[in-house]
Amino acid sequence: MEDFFGERGLEPVERRGLPRVTGPQKLMAAVDNLTRHEMLGTAEVADFSCLGIALRNLPGDPVAAAGDLLWVSLIAEEGIIPLTAKLVHIKRNGLYGLRIDTPSAAGQHFLLRLYDRVAAQAQTAPPIDAA
Protein backbone atom coordinates (compact mmCIF):
# COMPACT_ATOMS: atom_id res chain seq x y z
CA MET A 1 0.00 0.00 0.00
CA GLU A 2 1.24 3.51 -0.78
CA ASP A 3 0.79 6.42 1.54
CA PHE A 4 0.12 10.01 0.46
CA PHE A 5 3.81 10.79 -0.06
CA GLY A 6 4.45 7.70 -2.16
CA GLU A 7 6.32 5.55 0.38
CA ARG A 8 5.76 1.87 -0.21
CA GLY A 9 5.49 -1.01 2.21
CA LEU A 10 3.06 0.43 4.73
CA GLU A 11 0.67 -1.91 6.49
CA PRO A 12 -3.02 -1.64 5.51
CA VAL A 13 -4.89 0.65 7.87
CA GLU A 14 -8.01 -0.75 9.51
CA ARG A 15 -10.94 1.65 9.37
CA ARG A 16 -13.05 1.21 12.48
CA GLY A 17 -15.95 3.29 13.70
CA LEU A 18 -16.30 4.63 17.18
CA PRO A 19 -19.10 3.28 19.39
CA ARG A 20 -22.49 4.76 18.51
CA VAL A 21 -23.67 7.53 20.82
CA THR A 22 -26.76 9.63 21.22
CA GLY A 23 -26.48 12.96 22.94
CA PRO A 24 -29.04 14.84 25.00
CA GLN A 25 -29.23 17.60 22.37
CA LYS A 26 -30.67 16.90 18.96
CA LEU A 27 -28.48 16.96 15.90
CA MET A 28 -30.16 17.69 12.60
CA ALA A 29 -29.32 16.84 9.01
CA ALA A 30 -30.62 18.23 5.72
CA VAL A 31 -30.84 15.39 3.20
CA ASP A 32 -30.92 15.40 -0.61
CA ASN A 33 -31.14 12.26 -2.74
CA LEU A 34 -28.48 12.65 -5.44
CA THR A 35 -29.50 9.45 -7.21
CA ARG A 36 -33.12 10.51 -7.75
CA HIS A 37 -32.53 14.30 -7.73
CA GLU A 38 -35.03 14.80 -4.89
CA MET A 39 -34.86 16.79 -1.68
CA LEU A 40 -35.83 14.56 1.24
CA GLY A 41 -35.93 17.27 3.91
CA THR A 42 -34.54 17.72 7.41
CA ALA A 43 -34.23 14.78 9.76
CA GLU A 44 -33.06 14.16 13.31
CA VAL A 45 -29.78 12.28 13.75
CA ALA A 46 -30.69 9.28 15.89
CA ASP A 47 -27.08 8.15 16.39
CA PHE A 48 -23.73 8.19 14.67
CA SER A 49 -20.28 6.66 14.91
CA CYS A 50 -18.26 8.85 12.47
CA LEU A 51 -18.65 6.11 9.82
CA GLY A 52 -22.40 5.80 9.87
CA ILE A 53 -25.48 7.81 10.74
CA ALA A 54 -29.03 6.82 11.58
CA LEU A 55 -31.72 9.37 10.70
CA ARG A 56 -35.33 9.49 11.83
CA ASN A 57 -38.38 11.70 11.26
CA LEU A 58 -37.55 12.39 7.63
CA PRO A 59 -40.60 14.23 6.26
CA GLY A 60 -42.27 13.67 2.93
CA ASP A 61 -42.59 10.65 0.74
CA PRO A 62 -39.82 8.10 1.08
CA VAL A 63 -38.27 8.73 -2.34
CA ALA A 64 -35.18 6.74 -1.45
CA ALA A 65 -34.11 3.13 -1.73
CA ALA A 66 -31.17 1.15 -0.44
CA GLY A 67 -28.09 1.99 -2.48
CA ASP A 68 -29.06 5.59 -3.24
CA LEU A 69 -26.34 8.23 -2.91
CA LEU A 70 -27.35 11.03 -0.52
CA TRP A 71 -26.01 14.49 0.21
CA VAL A 72 -26.25 15.03 3.98
CA SER A 73 -25.56 18.41 5.58
CA LEU A 74 -24.97 17.72 9.26
CA ILE A 75 -26.07 20.68 11.41
CA ALA A 76 -24.51 21.01 14.89
CA GLU A 77 -23.22 23.63 17.33
CA GLU A 78 -19.79 23.33 15.74
CA GLY A 79 -21.16 24.30 12.33
CA ILE A 80 -22.47 22.64 9.19
CA ILE A 81 -20.62 19.95 7.29
CA PRO A 82 -21.66 18.51 3.94
CA LEU A 83 -21.18 14.76 3.58
CA THR A 84 -21.96 12.19 0.95
CA ALA A 85 -23.44 8.95 2.17
CA LYS A 86 -24.97 5.76 0.84
CA LEU A 87 -28.37 4.64 2.07
CA VAL A 88 -27.83 1.17 3.52
CA HIS A 89 -31.23 0.32 5.00
CA ILE A 90 -34.67 1.70 5.81
CA LYS A 91 -36.58 0.32 8.80
CA ARG A 92 -40.36 0.17 8.99
CA ASN A 93 -40.45 2.76 11.77
CA GLY A 94 -38.81 5.34 9.46
CA LEU A 95 -35.21 4.90 10.60
CA TYR A 96 -32.71 5.42 7.77
CA GLY A 97 -29.23 3.87 8.07
CA LEU A 98 -26.46 5.65 6.13
CA ARG A 99 -22.81 4.80 5.55
CA ILE A 100 -20.74 7.99 5.34
CA ASP A 101 -18.14 8.34 2.60
CA THR A 102 -14.74 9.40 3.91
CA PRO A 103 -14.74 13.21 4.17
CA SER A 104 -11.76 15.50 3.66
CA ALA A 105 -9.26 15.99 6.50
CA ALA A 106 -11.18 19.05 7.75
CA GLY A 107 -14.41 17.06 7.68
CA GLN A 108 -12.81 14.23 9.63
CA HIS A 109 -11.66 16.67 12.34
CA PHE A 110 -15.15 18.19 12.46
CA LEU A 111 -16.75 14.76 12.92
CA LEU A 112 -14.28 13.78 15.65
CA ARG A 113 -14.88 17.06 17.56
CA LEU A 114 -18.62 16.54 17.22
CA TYR A 115 -18.34 12.91 18.35
CA ASP A 116 -16.19 13.90 21.38
CA ARG A 117 -18.73 16.55 22.44
CA VAL A 118 -21.74 14.28 22.05
CA ALA A 119 -19.97 11.37 23.81
CA ALA A 120 -19.06 13.64 26.75
CA GLN A 121 -22.65 14.90 26.99
CA ALA A 122 -24.02 11.36 26.81
CA GLN A 123 -21.76 10.28 29.70
CA THR A 124 -22.82 13.17 31.94
CA ALA A 125 -26.53 13.03 31.06
CA PRO A 126 -28.83 11.42 33.61
CA PRO A 127 -30.14 7.99 32.58
CA ILE A 128 -33.48 7.91 30.79
CA ASP A 129 -36.09 5.91 32.67
CA ALA A 130 -37.82 3.29 30.56
CA ALA A 131 -41.49 3.78 31.28
pLDDT by residue (tens digit) across 30-87?
Answer: 999 999 888 888 999 888 776 788 998 887 666 788 899 999 998 888 788 899 999 9
Kindly report whether the global pTM for this prediction surpasses the value 0.75: no
60 located within any domain: yes
Share of the chain above pLDDT 90, in %: 20
130 located within any domain: no
11 located within any domain: no
126 located within any domain: no
Contacts of 6 (CB under 8 A, 6+ apart): none
* Total number of domains in the chain: 1
76 located within any domain: yes
Q: 99: domain range?
A: 27-121
* Per-residue confidence (pLDDT) for residue 2, from 0 to 100: 40
Residue type, 44: E
20 located within any domain: no
CATH of the domain at 73: 2.40.10.220
Per-residue pLDDT reduced to its tens digit, 78-126:
788 899 999 998 887 888 899 998 888 888 888 888 888 877 877 776 6
52 located within any domain: yes
Contacts of 23 (CB under 8 A, 6+ apart): 117, 118, 119, 121, 122, 125
* Per-residue confidence (pLDDT) for residue 86, from 0 to 100: 94
70 located within any domain: yes
